[in-house]
Amino acid sequence: MEWEHGPLGSLLVPEILTPEQYAEERRTHEPSPVKRLMLAVLEDALRCFQRNIGAKVGSRQLIYSEAERWLCVESGEAIFSFKTVCEAVGIDPDYLRAGLLQWRGEQQNGTARKLTRRSPVTRDGPILSVGPRSRRPNRRRPFTAGDKLPREA
């Protein structure tokens, strides 16, 4: 057909997308450097927002207000806007914002649940120690094919 080779033909032909292009991030479990940076920006903003909520003056209040402004701006098409960052890392920005605003209201009203901080669990050695205390005597020998099963009481 003649129209396929004309100026409109290139518009109607689907672009070819290889599986490597489509599933590049799905093949690797490691996020791209840009997504890792976006996640770090989001984590930092959340940390600044939550740690400095009660600040009244000074640098802590400035940090809080900058984080609050970034988190609460609903429009944003810049590459590192809250909306773009959340969408890039797979988080619904409206849901996260609503949760943050609810948390802020609870903090300001004094009705927030007290969150306890858990210390991280770390071990210096292997989970199972090989010392003499870890070995328990084998009280029962395992059943074999010729053994009778114990009767239930």
Q: Does residue 92 sit within a domain? A: yes
> Can you give the pLDDT at residue 135?
53
Please report whether residue 32 resides in a domain. no
User: Which pLDDT score is estimated for 131?
Assistant: 56
pLDDT at res. 77:
77
Confirm whether 107 is domain-assigned. Answer: yes
Range of the domain at 78: 54-112
Query: Residue 59 domain-assigned?
Result: yes
Is residue 89 a part of any domain in this protein? yes
* Number of structural domains found in the chain: 1
Contact 71, 42 (CB under 8 A): no
- Do the domain assignments include residue 21? no
User: How high is the pLDDT of residue 128?
Assistant: 60
pLDDT tens track of the chain, all 153 residues? 554 555 555 555 556 656 665 565 555 567 788 889 999 999 999 999 999 988 888 999 999 999 999 998 877 778 889 999 998 888 999 999 999 999 999 988 887 666 566 666 666 666 665 555 555 555 666 666 666 666 654
Domain contains 88: yes
